[in-house]
Amino acid sequence: MKTYCVTGGAGFIGSHLCEQLLAQGHRVVNIDNFNDVYDYKTKIRNILNSTRSDFPFTYSGDKDGDLAMLQAVVESDGYRLVVADIRSMDELEAVFASERIDAVIHLAAMAGVRPSIEDPLLYEDVNVKGTLHILEVMRKHGVRKWLCASSSSVYGNNRKVPFSEEDVVDYSISPYAATKKACEVLGHTYHHLHHIDTIMLRFFTVYGERQRPDLAIHKFAGMLDKDEELTMYGDGSSRRDYTYIGDIIAGILGALSYVERMENLYEVVNLGTNRTITLRDLITSLEQEFGKRALIRTLPNQPGDVEQTYADVSKANQLFGYNPQTDFAEGIHKFVTWYRGNRHG
C-alpha cells in the first residue's frame, strides 16, 4: 500500500481518482478547501461516493459543521480528508509532517477561462502560488514524484492540429491558460533543481459523471431538462476534444505508474481523445438524450475562448499505453443517466 496525496480530491476529477486509488488498496490523503465556486454539498456528495460511504449524511446548513462531520464520517486507515488551502504553507506543512507521502497528484486549482479574466489575481494566487507551495513542501519533505494538472488551454488558438506537446505554447489568450503554463515552468524548475520527477498532464475538456455544475455539458443538460433557454456563444462551429472521465482516470493512473518507475523524468503529456466535436453537435447529442429540442440564444464569442482543442495523444500512448475507449455518444449517455439520478435542487 502506498500513500498518495491528491489535492482537489473532492472535485470532479479528484473524487474519481481517489475512488480508484482506494479501490487499488492505497491510502489517500485528500486536500481540498471546499471553496465557494459551487455548492460545497456537491463536493460532499462526491466524497461520500468516492469513499463508498453509506452513512446517512444530514446537512445542517452550516458549512464548517458539515465539513467537520464529513471528516469524521470518512476518516479511516485508507482515507484522510484535510480541509485546507494550498495557499497556506502552515496547513500544507502540517499534512506533510504527519504523513509519509509517496507521490502527489496535484489537481487543485481555480478553473475556468472566463472567470480568470474577471479576477486574474485570484487565479495567479491559487494556481501559481499554490502550486509553488506544493512543490516547496514536497522538496522539504523529500517527496520526489508528482503529477500536475495542466490544461489544453495552454495551446491558445494554435493553428496546427492536432496539438502536440512539441508545439510552442507561448501565446496564452486567458489568465487561466497563463497560470497553467506557469505551473509547467515551475515543475521543470523543481525537477532541474531538486530532482522531483514530474509529469504535467494537459487535460482536454473532461466530462462525465460528477462533472462540475458550472461546465457547459452540465449546464446545458440542466437547462434542457427544465426547458430553459441555452446560451450558445458563436455560431456553434467551435470544436472541443471532449474526454470522458473514465479515460482521464485511466490516463492519470498510467502516468502515475510511469513516473514512479522512472528516474530523472520531466514530461508534458496530452490526455484527450484525438477527436473533436462541434458545439452544435454537442447540443444535438443532448437533445437526443432528453428527447426534446433546445431553445437556443446565440451570443458573440467570448474573450479568452479558443476556437478548437484537438489532442495528439500518441506520446501518452507510447509512454504508458494511454488508449481512450469511450466515444462521445456513449459518454454523453452515461453522463445524462447519472444526471437524471442526481438532480439536486
Measured CA to CA, the distance from residue 46 to residue 29 in angstroms comes to: 15
Out of 92-96, 270-274, 301-305, 329-333, pick the least confident: 301-305
Q: What is the 3-state secondary structure (H, E, C) of 3-45?
A: EEEEECCCCHHHHHHHHHHHHCCCEEEEEECCCCCCCHHHHHH
Measured CA to CA, the distance from residue 288 to residue 281 in angstroms comes to: 10
CATH number for the domain including 124? 3.40.50.720
Element (H, E) at 281: helix 279-290
Measured CA to CA, the distance from residue 191 to residue 188 in angstroms comes to: 5
| 175-185: average pLDDT | 97
Out of 54-63, 141-150, 240-249, pick the least confident: 54-63
pLDDT at 193 over 50: yes
Measured CA to CA, the distance from residue 253 to residue 11 in angstroms comes to: 17
| 45-54: average pLDDT | 93
Q: Are strands 266-271 and 239-240 parallel, antiparallel or unpaired?
A: unpaired
* DSSP letters spanning 287-319: HHHHTSPPEEEEEPPPTT--SB--B--HHHHHH
The pLDDT assigned to 345 comes to: 47
Give rounded-to-5 percent helix, strand, coil for the chain. Answer: 45, 20, 35
Is 181 inside a domain boundary?
Answer: yes
The pLDDT assigned to 41 comes to: 95
- Number of structural domains (the chain) is 1
3-state secondary structure (DSSP) of residue 208: coil
3-state secondary structure (DSSP) of residue 311: strand
The pLDDT assigned to 344 comes to: 62
Question: Within its chain, how far is the Cα of 1 from the centroid?
Answer: 24
Measured CA to CA, the distance from residue 282 to residue 277 in angstroms comes to: 7
The pLDDT tens digits of the residues spanning 261-289 come to 999 999 999 999 999 999 999 999 999 99
The pLDDT assigned to 306 comes to: 86
Share of residues in the chain with pLDDT > 70 (%): 99
pLDDT at 150 over 60: yes
Is 231 inside a domain boundary?
Answer: no
3-state secondary structure (DSSP) of residue 131: helix
The pLDDT assigned to 304 comes to: 81
Phi, psi angle pair for 148, to nearest 5°: -135, 135
Name the residue range of residue 319's domain: 3-206+243-274+310-325
Is 37 inside a domain boundary?
Answer: yes
- Measured CA angle at 138 (ends 245, 170), to 5 deg: 60
The pLDDT assigned to 311 comes to: 98
The pTM (predicted TM-score) of the whole model is 0.97
Is 295 inside a domain boundary?
Answer: no
Measured CA to CA, the distance from residue 190 to residue 138 in angstroms comes to: 10
The pLDDT tens digits of the residues spanning 98-130 come to 999 999 999 999 998 999 999 999 999 999 999
Q: Which positions are catalytic?
A: 176
The pLDDT assigned to 343 comes to: 78
Averaged confidence pLDDT in the chain: 96
Is 221 inside a domain boundary?
Answer: no
| 157-173: average pLDDT | 95
3-state secondary structure (DSSP) of residue 139: helix
pLDDT band at residue 55 using 50, 70 and 90 as cut-offs: confident
Q: Are 146 and 106 in contact (CB under 8 A)?
A: yes
Is 331 inside a domain boundary?
Answer: no
Q: Are 152 and 163 in contact (CB under 8 A)?
A: yes
Q: Are strands 239-240 and 277-278 parallel, antiparallel or unpaired?
A: antiparallel
Out of 85-89, 187-191, 271-275, 295-299, pick the least confident: 295-299
The pLDDT tens digits of the residues spanning 284-305 come to 999 999 999 999 999 998 888 8
pLDDT at 317 over 50: yes
Is 223 inside a domain boundary?
Answer: no
Element (H, E) at 46: helix 40-50
Beta carbons within 8 Å of 273's beta carbon, 6+ residues apart: 204, 241, 242, 243, 244, 247, 311, 313, 324, 328
- Measured CA angle at 215 (ends 213, 219), to 5 deg: 65
Burial of 256 (0-12, 13-18, 19+ CB in 10 A): buried
| 1-23: average pLDDT | 98
Is 299 inside a domain boundary?
Answer: no
What pairs with residue 98 in β-bridges?
A: none
